[in-house]
Amino acid sequence: MRNGLCMTWVKCPIASAIKVSKTGKIPLGWTMARLELQKPRKMRCFKCWELGHHQDICKSKTDRSHACFRCGMDGHSAASCTKEAHCVLCESKGLSARHRIGSHLCGEEVKDKNKNTKEKLDRRPVSINNTNDEDTPMQS
């Protein structure tokens, strides 16, 4: 991570994730690992790379499905990319594009984060009873 600490994501059933996260920490090797549920992320279309829908219902004429997720150029994957990071979504919106798509610097992500912060301030605590055992990512 940017702060020099390590992070691990664990995918497990939602009931297990909630139960384990209530303890707040678990032993991991020689240390105690802090646990927290991962915040939900918006769906991303892997055709146009925009947020909020998936490629099966994408109406965009832009097809970025064969482009590098790091630099936005066709012909190679992000794993083998040696070019400078470049977000084609931010560039198309006139924002700074010197980052990979979806990073903490991405205009879409920053805008969404600011919106979520405002929503948190407006929201009152709500009790949710979720007995669904769907897979939910957890991070420690």
Q: Are 78 and 70 in contact (CB under 8 A)?
A: yes
| pTM of the predicted structure, to 2 decimals | 0.52
Measured in degrees and rounded to the nearest 5, phi and psi for residue 2 equal: -65, -25
pLDDT higher than 50, residue 118: no
pLDDT higher than 60, residue 93: yes
Q: What is the DSSP letter of 17?
A: H
Residue with tokens 């997720």, as numbered in its chain: 69
Residue with tokens 């664990």, as numbered in its chain: 10
* Domain spans in the chain, listed from the N-terminal domain onward: 66-121
Average pLDDT score over residue span 87-115: 77
Q: What is the pLDDT of residue 59?
A: 93
pLDDT digits (tens, 9 = 90+) for 45-71: 989 988 889 889 999 999 998 889 889
